[in-house]
Amino acid sequence: MKYVDEFRDGELAKIISANIAQEATAVSGYNLMEFCGGHTHAISRYGITDLLPANVRMIHGPGCPVCVLPIGRVDQAIRLALEYSVILCTYADTLRVPASGGLSLLKAKARGADVRMVYSTQDALKVARDNPEREVVFLAIGFETTTPPTAVAIQQAAAENLNNFSILCYHVLTPAAMHAILSVEGGKTVPLNGFVGPAHVSTVIGSKPYEPFADDYNKPVVIAGFEPLDVMQAILMLIRQVNDGRAEVENEFTRAVTREGNLKAQHIVDEVFELRDSFEWRGLGSVPDSALKLRSKYFSFDAELKFNVDYVPVADNKACECGAILRGEKRPQDCRIFAIGCTPDNPVGSCMVSSEGACAAHYTYGRFRQIPIVAEALS
């Protein structure tokens, strides 16, 4: 068992696909949101939409950490690097996110900023140890999967008195974003019949935090692994729930996800972080209790406080539809500049940057197939 090839088997895919075709009988169709960018990527890469009947529609969710980061947050990091001359460490995906003034972290680097790509928070700590005379800031982004590694680094930095290390804490929470999707003001929400729940986020938080979406919102949730067969099976499980009139949390990814999740990781996160009152997301606006900040005992590692760089909100590029795409209202090909003015080499919006972004996934795998969007189909 290698846990990869087995879950990409073409014969099994045909069986699941046949089951879906047989069972997706509801005339009103099935509008399913894959919350996580990892699933968006898998769906595009393996052409899963081509294996689904026309009445099963996948809607991309906001679960791509780079995509939901608003411009003003990238600006903060760039200011630290350019004006405060810190060494700014970051995961590769954030380097090309467009910021104000035509800048990105990569372009700031070309202007002399010391921006360094790291693979792990351990690498960022090493940069801080190796450069005791410099300030080192780690741009900490991501959902519940990258949060525990940041928490471990903070505990280590505190234990080592690594006082030249700090973080820009932009960690965000999956359930809060799902809640926001389902309760957009003015009731303009996209009609959704269920969620494909994230794989790796759920290995950490478990399946329990999704129970309110089934119980209170009456939306089925099926947690799925990241391989193509996982996603297809989860879609089938959602179709079955809709057909039976059920709304439950089901787990397709039992090989790694339990109801309780990784308790050790949860405890470490809880020791280091607490909820932010509110955090601005690209597309979703300010969402209460949707992000984390360092607990007061770790304030000295908070770069926002240390350097006094405030967050200044900045509007997205006018042509960019990232906001509507992240809310599930539009598709990448609905953006006027998709693949014309905006490409992975020259992204205008954040959804074109990471391979998990909806626009980048559609662009890279050439899935430009035209499916009528729900709003049209309903009217």
Partner 1 sequence: MCLAIPARIEELNDSGNAIVNLGGVRKEISLALLDEVSVGDYVIVHVGYALQKLDEDEAKQTLAAFAEMGQLDELRAELMESGT
Q: Are the C-beta atoms of residues 362 and 44 closer than 8 Å to each other?
A: yes
3 binds partner 1 (CB under 8 A): yes
- Crossing angle for the helix pair 228-244 and 10-23, nearest 10 degrees? 20
- Give CA torsion, residues 234, 145, 140, 100, to 10 deg: 0
User: What tokens were used for 318?
Assistant: 């006018």
By CB under 6 A, name the one of 352, 354, 356, 373 that touches ligand SF4: 352
Please state the closest distance from residue 358 (CB atom) to ligand SF4, in A: 7
Nearer to partner 1, 254 or 278 (CB): 254
- Comparing every residue's Cβ against ligand SF4, the nearest one is 349
Q: What is the DSSP string of 152-196?
A: HHHHHHHHTT-TTEEEEEEEB-HHHHHHHHHT-GGG-PPP-SEEE
Please state the closest distance from residue 155 (CB atom) to ligand SF4, in A: 36
User: What tokens were used for 82?
Assistant: 């350019």
CA 18 remoteness from chain centre:
30
256 binds partner 1 (CB under 8 A): yes
Please state the closest distance from residue 250 (CB atom) to partner 1, in A: 11
DSSP letter, residue 92? G
126 binds partner 1 (CB under 8 A): no
Q: Are the C-beta atoms of residues 317 and 350 closer than 8 Å to each other?
A: no
- Please count the residues of the chain: 379
SS3 36: strand
Residue 188 falls in which region: left (phi positive, over 0), alpha (psi -120 to 50) or beta:
alpha
Please state the closest distance from residue 102 (CB atom) to ligand SF4, in A: 14
Nearer to ligand SF4, 152 or 342 (CB): 342
Nearer to ligand SF4, 339 or 371 (CB): 339
332 binds ligand SF4 (CB under 6 A): yes
By CB under 6 A, name the one of 227, 302, 304, 321 that touches ligand SF4: 321
C-beta neighbour count of 175 within 10 angstroms: 19
By CB under 8 A, name the one of 31, 76, 104, 121 that touches partner 1: 121
Binding mask 271-310 for ligand SF4 (x = CB under 6 A): ----------------------------------------
Q: Are the C-beta atoms of residues 309 and 199 closer than 8 Å to each other?
A: no
Residues 279-318 interacting with partner 1 (rule: CB under 8 A): none
The residues that touch ligand SF4, with contacts defined as CB under 6 A, are: 319-322, 325, 332, 335, 337-338, 342, 348-349, 351-352, 359
